[in-house]
Structure 1
Amino acid sequence: MNILMTGGTGFIGQHLIRRRLALGDKVYCLTRNVERVNALFQNKVEGVRALSELEGQRMDAVINLAGEPILDKRWSDDRKQLIYQSRVGLTTDLVEWIGRQASKPRVLISGSAIGYYGSHSAETLEEDSTCHTGFTHTLCADWERAALNATDLGVRVCVLRTGIVLGEGGALAKMVLPFKLGLGGPIGDGQQWMSWIHIDDEVNIIEMLMLQDQHEGAFNLTAPDAVTNRVFSKTLGAVLHRPTFMPMPSTLMKLILGEGATLLVEGQKVTPANVLATGYEFKYPELKTALMSILTD
């Protein structure tokens, strides 16, 4: 297969590209840093800086995972605009590029996030659940809408409402250090829900959606076992054999991250209803076994 990827140097993208290279696919990566792509993948991926470099190149699939990091900086108005444009703007450009191609890809797999639903306290959220308004919902809804425009071009589209992805690196790497130092604990009262997924299941599901033509629309990419932040903290501490009695005040998180702190102090309880309906069986359906696979030898 010929696959065009955006976000290929990110956490999910790297795992997915290495999987597809091992299976013999030709991967093109849209990137601002071709040198980094060459270094990460030993010159086995063709990095391009602009879609114009690919005019007329046949692609079997497009996988769109690009976007500025969400929680690395406080959300100023400028930062929110950059987060928005890096997702919605790029996706719009990508669909316009698809529209210009004589031979169109069979499928567009495009990123989104469980932020689509906004903050919820206890309701279990499926793909057709009610959403709460706010920046994350607007961001994800517009991002998905931009991708779904490709259906008008005859392209099958799947959007990935991804939760917290656990693996070596990514979000878990940022969480682990304070726990290893014995300083880990819940955020605020710890009652907010955390919807997570192991990187192996994330990649497996993306591949399934890419290869099986009957699937389209929105999919929650989360494990069936959503947990509260308190349970997540206790489980992580147990796997690392460390105490978990140092809570992080929610007011401090809000001071550090501003509006972005809502992703950590409120949360959503998401279930992967549409993924389960495909018959997919999770490799890591439970949090403890998922963490042990990553953090223990």
Structure 2
Amino acid sequence: MKIAIAGGTGFVGKALVDHFMKNNHEIVILTRHIPNIKKRDNIRYVQWLSAHSDPISHLQNTDIFINLAGESINSGRWTDQRKNKILISRLEAVKELLAIMKKLDRKPIVFINASAIGIYGTSLDKVFTEDKQILGNDFLAETVRQWEYEASFVARLGIRTAFCRFGIILDRNEGALPKIALPYKAYIGGNIGHGRQWMSWIHIEDVVKGISFIIENEVVNGPINFTAPNPVPMSEFGKTLALVLHRPHWLSVPSFALQILLGEMSTLVVDGQKVLPNKLIASGFEFTFPNLDKALQNIFS
């Protein structure tokens, strides 16, 4: 198959590219800047989102479009300017992909758009699944709501469309886990805030496996929670991580300190939500790492 990935040089994108390469698919990576790296036979880097780019000719006969593009939410304080950039970068990418797909001689089989469980807002006691229409009203929830709304226009072209609502993706070197693990490795790990906030996590291998599952299963569409079936409170996450790393779990960081340090962005670690992957499970998907201890043991082995 021919697969186009916007944001293919990011965290999830690189994992997907490695997977698709092993399975001998043709990959087109849409990027603002062509990287100066050694070319590989079945990968092409195509510039887009610039006045001088014209990606259409490179994308004819593409079977799958995957959109992972957007400004990172965790690389700086959420000033008004930064929040605007986080939102606009996502909407701009979706609108450009929609315009591209409208011009193709043959439409793709499926469009997979990144999304986030942040759409549900935060809660200590609610359980969120895809069939719950309860959405949050904070910055992240509103960003994801607009993101999915723009992506929904692709479905009106007759293209099967899926929104992958990612939870906290666990990987040894990228994402949130290295930052969470750092104080434990320094023997000063402990609860973040009160520790009762839910941590809805997923192993990076199950992210890649889940996206491949969506591609292969023609009936799977709409919002899909990408979280393991066994979320845990932050205190349990920390204790499990401490056991795997053979480190103590003892020094807590109070919520107010994180709020002073990070501002509004502290919601990423101080607050949480319990999210279940009902649609993936009902569709027959089997997680390689459904439980946290096995996931962390695999990552840090």
Which bin holds the TM-score, normalised by the shorter protein? over 0.9
Residue 123 of structure 2 contacts residue 271 of structure 2 at CA under 8 Å; is this kept in 1?
yes
1:244 to 232, 243, 249: 249
- Give a deviation string over 1:173-199, Cα, whole Å, max 9, x none: 222221111111111111100000011
Measured in 2, the distance between the counterparts of 1:86 and 1:210 equals 25
Q: In 2, are the aligned partners of 1:88 and 1:139 still within 8 Å (CA)?
A: no
Q: Which residue number in structure 2 is paired with residue 181 of structure 1?
A: 186
Describe the shift of the 1:242–1:28 C-alpha distance in structure 2 as closer, same or farther (beyond 3 A): same
- How far off is 1:285 after superposition? 0.4
SS in 2 for 1:153: coil
1:201 matches 2:197: no
Q: Offset at 1:132?
A: 2.1
| Cα separation, 1, equivalents of 2:26 and 2:78 | 37
Match of 1:137 in 2: 141
Structure 2: segments with no counterpart, 5+ residues: none
8 A contact 2:94–2:151 mirrored in 1:
yes
Residues 154-182 of structure 1 show CA distances to partners (whole Å, capped at 9, x for unaligned) of: 11000000000112222212222211111
State the AA in 2 paired with 1:75. Answer: W
Question: 1:3 touches 1:63 (CA, 8 Å); kept in 2?
Answer: yes
Residue of structure 1 equivalent to 2:83: 80
Q: Which amino acid aligns with 1:95?
A: L
Runs of 4+ residues deviating >6 angstroms? none
Q: Determine whether 1:45 maps to 2:17.
A: no
| 2:279 aligned residue | 274
Question: Among the aligned pairs, what percent are the same residue?
Answer: 39
Match of 2:102 among 85, 89, 99: 99
CA distance in 2, matches of 1:118, 1:87: 19
* Structure 1 residue 22 corresponds to structure 2 residue 22: yes
Q: What corresponds to 2:171 in structure 1?
A: 167
Q: Note the alpha carbon deviations across 1:245-279, whole angstroms, 9 max, x for none.
A: 11112112112221111121110000001111101
The alpha carbon displacement at 1:146 in A equals 1.1
Partner SS, residue 112 of structure 2: strand
**Does 14-23 or 44-53 show the bigger shift?**
44-53
Structure 1 residue 42, shift from structure 2 partner: 4.7
Secondary structure of 1:5 counterpart: strand
Report the 3-state secondary structure (helix = DSSP H, G, I; strand = E; otherwise coil) of the residue aligned with 1:157: strand
* Counterpart AA for 2:264: E
Contact 1:88 1:142 in 2 (8 A): yes
Is it true that 1:155 corresponds to 2:153 in the alignment? no
Comparing 165-174 with 281-290, greater Cα deviation is found at 165-174
Q: Which amino acid aligns with 2:166?
A: T
Structure 1 residue aligned with 2:121: 118
Matched residue SS, 1:30: strand
CA contact under 8 A between 1:11 and 1:169: conserved in structure 2? no
How far did residue 100 of structure 1 move?
Answer: 1.5
Gap regions ≥5 residues in structure 1: none
- Cα distance in structure 2, aligned partners of 1:83 and 1:43: 33
Aligned length: 294
Q: Which amino acid aligns with 1:156?
A: R
Instruction: Find 2:68's aligned residue among 48, 65, 69.
Output: 65
Deviation per CA, 1:40-79: give whole Å up to 9, x if none.
x756521111165321422100000111111110000000
SS in 1 for 2:5: strand
Q: Whole-Å Cα distance in 2 between the matches of residues 70 and 175 of structure 1?
A: 16
Amino acid at match of 1:185: G
Q: 1:254: which partner in 2?
A: 259
Specify the code of the residue in structure 1 equivalent to 2:226: L
Distance 2:115 2:63 in 1: 21
TM-score (norm 1): 0.95
Match of 1:7 in 2: 7
1:21 partner SS: helix
Secondary structure of the equivalent of 1:82?
helix
